Amino acid sequence: MSNKIFGRFRVSLAISKRIWSRASDRSYCEPRLEKMDAVKTMKDLGYAFNTDGQLRKIDANGQPTDEPFQFNVSNQHQECQAHYEELGNAVTEYIYHLLETEYKFTRLPVPKDSKKATFIYASEDYDKKDVLVILIQGSGAVRPGQWARSLIINDNIDMGTQIPYIKYALSKDYGVLVLNPNDNYLPNGQKITNSSTGEEHTSYVWKTYVKKAKAESIAIVAHSYGGVLTVALADQLKKEFEKRVKAIAFTDSVHVYSNIKLTKYLKEVARNWISSQSPLDTPMTTPDFDIPRLSAGHEKHEMTSYSCMQSVFKFIDQKLSKN
C-alpha cells in the first residue's frame, strides 16, 4: 500500500472510529430525554438567525446583533456543554419550523400507526412525483434537515442544513423524503419500534413509504454514516433497490467499514465526494473494491455536503437524464 493511500486510509479510519463511537454512545444519540414541549426556543436562549443565515445573539428588541455564538458561558465545561445542547435542540425545532412553514413538508410517523414515536419529513405529493430524492444525514445528534449542527451554530444555516438540497429538488419538481435515522429512543429510554437503529429505520421507511411512491427514478444523497445505511439498504433490497435508484451521491461516506461487498451496480450509480485539500471534483485514488472517489473541495469532514453541492446536483441530473 502506497504512503498516499495509507495516509488516506488512516484519516478515513479515524473518522469512522469517531462516528462509530458516537453511534454507540447512548448519551450522544439520545438528546430527546426531555419532552419536546419543554425545549426552549432560540429567542428564549438569546439567539436568532440574521438575514445572512448566521446565528447571532439578540438585543433587547429581539434583533440579531453582530455577536456570534459563544460556547464558554461559564468556567464550568459541563454548564457550557449543557447550554450548547439546549441551543442545539432549539435550532432543531427552528429547522423543523422552516421545513413545515416555508417548504410545506409534513411529518410521516415511524412506525406508521404511532404519533408518539418518531417521524420523517416528506414534501407535498412526494408519492406522486416521477423522481424522488432521499436525504440521509450522518450519525449523532443531527436530525431531519441537518448535515452538521456545529456548522449551523458556528457558521451558516445553509452550510449545515439540507435546505439548499431541498430547495434544488423542489425547483426540479422532485419529491423529497428527509430521513431521521438517529432518533432511536423514546423519552423514557425505550427503543422506538422499527427505528431502534439507523439501519432498521431506513429499511422501514423504504418498505412503508418509498415502496408505495410513484417514482421510478430515485436519487439518494447520504453523508458520512448515511453511506453505511445506504449500502446496507441496497444489500437488503437488491433488485428492488437497483431497479429504482438511479443515482447515489455520498459526501465523505464511511460505507467501506460496513463489511458489505460493493456491487458493480453501486460503483456505476454512486460517487463519493471525500474530504480533501484538492480542488472540487479532482479524481482521488480509489481502491478497486470501492465506489469512485472525488474531492469534495474541502478538507473538513462536516463541510463536504455543502462544498460539493453543485457537483452533486450535476451528477444526479446526468444520471436521471439517462433514464
- In the set 224, 275, 305, 311, the catalytic residue is 224
For the chain, the first-to-last Cα distance in angstroms comes to 38
- The verdict on whether 123 is a catalytic residue reads no
Give the position of cell 451558516: 156
Asked if 149 contacts 88 with a C-beta cutoff of 8 angstroms, the reply is yes
Centre a 10 Å sphere on the Cβ of residue 71 and count the other Cβ atoms it contains. 12
Look-up: residue for cell 495509507? 6
- 313 closest CA partner among 168, 134, 131, 216: 168
168: β partners: none
> Among residues 275, 209, 211, 201, which one has the least CA distance to residue 232?
201
Q: Which segments within 193-269 are labelled E, that is strand? A: 217-223, 245-251
Type of residue found at 46? G
Residue for grid cell 450548547? 84
Residues labelled as active-site residues: 224
